[in-house]
Structure 1
Amino acid sequence: MKVVIVEDEQLAADALAVIVKRLRPQTEILSKIGSVEEAVQWFNLYQAPDLIFCDIHLSDGNSFEIFRQVTINCPVIFTTAYNQYAIEAFKVNSIDYLLKPIKPEDVALALKKYESQQRPVPQDMSQLQQVKSRFLVKQGQVIKTIPVEDVSYFWAEDGVVFLFTRQGKRFIINYTLDQLEEQLDKTVYFRANRQLIVHIHAVQEVHSYFKGRLTLQLHPALDKEVIISRSKASEFKLWLDM
């Protein structure tokens, strides 16, 4: 998915980009645009993206002026601190209207609305991507299932992925972390690094580490150092605050 963000506050634009990338990691942010004039120039020069996030009050005027000057046919999600523009917003391809401060859960719902309008309805249930609800594990000669809500984290080591429960039990599962990341609810699970996917309830403490990194204290405790890189630290903090 290719996205353009029209927002005149740089910090707000950056924060929104982080939220979108966290929710949809494959998203490409084509541009962050801060004014009506710049937006008109951009949309005259380049092909429209798949989706636009657009603030209404920009540094040089109202963003509806963009749509009066340029024909834009892609969907738009408006972001604003004011609620009086909703009717006008829905006249210009708007699929949602988010009030500031923007919350990750609101963006998640808006993206789902966008995606539901873009994809064809599956012909059968087998075509629907399912969020994982339980895991099949083996304990000795016994095969059992563990509900996903009982999983504290997944840890990968030497090519093996372990599932750790809230009770501190450990099981080997036949998934890679990449596969798990696609099947788990991203509002409660976070890919901390190449070795760990952690559930929100397992994060006991977060400590600042040198060079902008973070370290985590988990429950149940893991006898490994858990470090979140500087590049992921902001994304992790946003996830904690969802």
Structure 2
Amino acid sequence: MKIVLFEDEQLAAEALQSIIQRLRPEPTVLAILGSVEEAVPWLQLHPSPDLIFCDIHLSDGNSFEIFKQVEVKCPVIFTTAYNQYAIEAFQVNSIDYLLKPIKPDEVAKALKKHEELRSHHLAQSLGNLQQLVQAPQVQPQQSIKSRFMVKSGQAIKAIPVEEVAYFLAEEGVVFLVTFQGKRFIINNTLDQLEEQLDQQAFFRVNRHLTVHINAVQEVRPYFKGRLSLLLNPPAATDQVVSSNRAPAFRQWLDL
């Protein structure tokens, strides 16, 4: 069996490789890839492995970007410190989802599941699995979010949407910022949030910011028809509404 690891932390990769080799001496780890930039060309240039262990957060972004760029036909076992990605993971050939720190017995169960699927027409089994997990995805995209599940230390907590001041994208990561100024990483793009939020309460200001109406403290004219925003809590960088979006933004605020 040929395995590829997508993991940007060297110690974590070595630990996982050691667990796999103790459990199954015969598999070969073909490559350890730490970024989306490395993984995409590797998959394009090499035959498909039998199995991929994939960390969700790589050095240059979310590993789901790999599956948007390359058709991955082999099964995938996701490894992550976050538990809110499970549904999205099962949409890209995932057969298991292991939370860090990874335990040998969990890897053993995942490998056994892979072997059982492989021996019972893997392609057909995965097709049925994808149909099962795609069905419940339709409704959440059409409904309005009432809360967001975020990681807080070692715990997972719920943040009601009423407590959200804005969503800010920085270097490929989207942060939820509360009115109390607390920041949490979430597994949503700003594009996805446009479909999940109440459009009367939230506005997509630019490529980096979606803001709650109560977080807009002041609006000032800016160069060439743009608008500069003063937010509460303050953002680390200036936030500007483009000239194209300024009319819609003014209408949203009833200006």
Q: TM-score, normalised by structure 2?
A: 0.47
Larger % of helix: which? Answer: 2
